[in-house]
Chains A and B, each alone.
Chain A
Amino acid sequence: MAHHDINMPVTAEQVREWRIGDTVTLNGTLYGIRDGTHIHMFDRGRKTRFDMSGHAVIHTAPNVRKVEKSKAHPTGYAPLCIGTTTSARMERFSRPLMEQYGVRVIIGKGGLAEGSLSAFKDLGGAYLAIVGGAAALETTWVEAIEDVDLDDLNPESLWKFRVKGFGPLLVSMDSRGGSIYTQVNKAAREKRAAALASLGVKNS
């Protein structure tokens, strides 16, 4: 169970070192992406000007405040509350994000499925679990909103955050086919029969 303190971006070789159960703390650039962003980028042919190669994306749509543009707030947005949404809805976009944009790391909550796991294996990637619903804490790890693209989709814009000490996050899906979600889900389903028996359920 190693801990990796990382300055973004990362290489495939670096990410392939990570194993489920390891922890990772990110520093530098982190991109925020959401349902609408993916739909527009992959189903409606829109492109971003951002270079996400070797970078991490987090499944989020933040609460922001409109402010005067300044050095601290170059986009005119100040971060108010940044937290993480359920990843499962964005499952089918993991591979194209990695193939077309070179994204290496996906941060989210609740996990992704087999398609993403095979993309991590083929292309060298990983999924990092953040504690969902712990947005007040997560916000303290975000230094600034450095840039924003596709902002007509606000709040589902493509956000470029600068983060410091973002974590520790748990490697819950790795590039070797390991997934804590698969393990937990399998074990839980194996307990189904016993749970039903304890409830006196005869036919199910």
Chain B
Amino acid sequence: MKVDLKKVEDAAKELYIRALKILPPDVKQGFARLDAAESNPLAKKVLGTMIRNISVAEETDNLTCQDTGVPIYNVTIGRKVEVDGCDLEAAITRGCARATNEHPLRSSVVHPITRVNDHTSCGIRIPAIHVGFSDQPEELTIQMIPKGSGSENNSWLRMAIPAEGVDAIKAFVIDCVLDAGGKTCPPTIVGVGVGGSADLCMYLSKVAATRALGTRCADSEGAKLEQELTRAVNDLGVGPQGLGGDSTAFAVHVELAATHITMNPVAVNMQCHAARRASATFTPKGVTYGF
């Protein structure tokens, strides 16, 4: 399958706008689940406002949250897909800038030292574009994630040591949730990276934070940790917006990588309740949109 780059550019634009406006169904279900179980009246009110906001955004064709975030595009290239990688990246970047100028969207992206905003949502190495591969023969998938800064500013890495064991991982997650308080716009998806190298561990925490609710870590030990930690962080009582309550996190997600005999790295990256994502799948039949 040969990829039409003009269509990629259009999709990159469309995905940014769609992600900002329509929350994925698993996140909506997550809200319903938390709301049904919440025992704190103030927390229930806060959740009610969040749920109402999702409908208002759809009814008024508006963004759910004003933070247009750091734009991230995850590209998955199937086995028989023919595409020039450099051109693909350029097409995605053009689409990202077009969404910003044509919708228009607030450009939240600045040069990290001069703080100059080009008003394109683009800059050095932004949008972040991650490329992976799949064995689907004729399929190219682009997933877009506008990652909000309130939650992104609460990111942590700890290079624990083997002698600290899995206890260090568990305690670190609890302490990160306590430190974050209401700053991350809870209820959150707490993404935990375990193992790998420092950079891989941090990256995995982002993969975990942006995974659909209801999905499990592929490794059984990781999945067990997800279950234990989801219960434990919700026992802390931080609650929606840090104002108290049972609903601190939709879930804790864990992603693993093998690590070095001397290392025990753990990273935490959080996704706010505006857990936005949108995806486009290109096949020989055309483009379909999803989450």
List residues of A (144-177) whose CB comes within 8 Å of B's CBs: 154-155, 170, 172
Closest to A203 in B: B167
Does B229 interact with chain A (Cβ within 8 Å)?
Answer: yes
Q: List the B side residues contacting A109 at CB < 8 Å.
A: 150, 182, 185, 241
A203 & B164 in contact (Cβ 8 Å cutoff) = yes
Closest to A188 in B: B236
B63 & A81 in contact (Cβ 8 Å cutoff) = yes
Q: List the B side residues contacting A15 at CB < 8 Å.
A: none
Chain A interface size, as a band, is 35 or more
Does B262 interact with chain A (Cβ within 8 Å)?
Answer: no
Closest to B229 in A: A199
The residue that A63 contacts in the complex, of B66, B181, B228, B238, with Cβ under 8 A, is: B66
24 sample A-B contacts, Cβ–Cβ < 8 Å, listed by A number: A63-B68, A80-B62, A80-B104, A81-B63, A82-B66, A85-B150, A86-B183, A111-B242, A129-B241, A131-B50, A131-B240, A134-B50, A135-B64, A137-B56, A139-B62, A155-B106, A181-B181, A183-B244, A187-B244, A191-B236, A195-B232, A196-B174, A200-B170, A201-B170
Q: List the B side residues contacting A131 at CB < 8 Å.
A: 46, 49-50, 53, 240-241
B66 & A61 in contact (Cβ 8 Å cutoff) = yes
A184 & B115 in contact (Cβ 8 Å cutoff) = no
Chain B interface size, as a band, is 35 or more
Does A60 interact with chain B (Cβ within 8 Å)?
Answer: yes
Closest 6 pairs between A and B when the two form their complex, measured CB to CB: A83-B66, A136-B57, A134-B53, A204-B171, A110-B182, A135-B66
Does A202 interact with chain B (Cβ within 8 Å)?
Answer: yes
Does A115 interact with chain B (Cβ within 8 Å)?
Answer: no
Q: List the B side residues contacting A85 at CB < 8 Å.
A: 66-67, 149-150
Q: List the B side residues contacting A155 at CB < 8 Å.
A: 106-108, 117
Cα distance A198–B230 when bound, in Å?
12
A133 & B62 in contact (Cβ 8 Å cutoff) = no
Closest to B236 in A: A188
B183 & A110 in contact (Cβ 8 Å cutoff) = yes
Given known contacts A81-B66, A132-B150, A134-B53, is B235 in contact with A194 (CB within 8 Å)?
A: yes
Cα distance A185–B242 when bound, in Å?
8
Cα distance A193–B168 when bound, in Å?
14
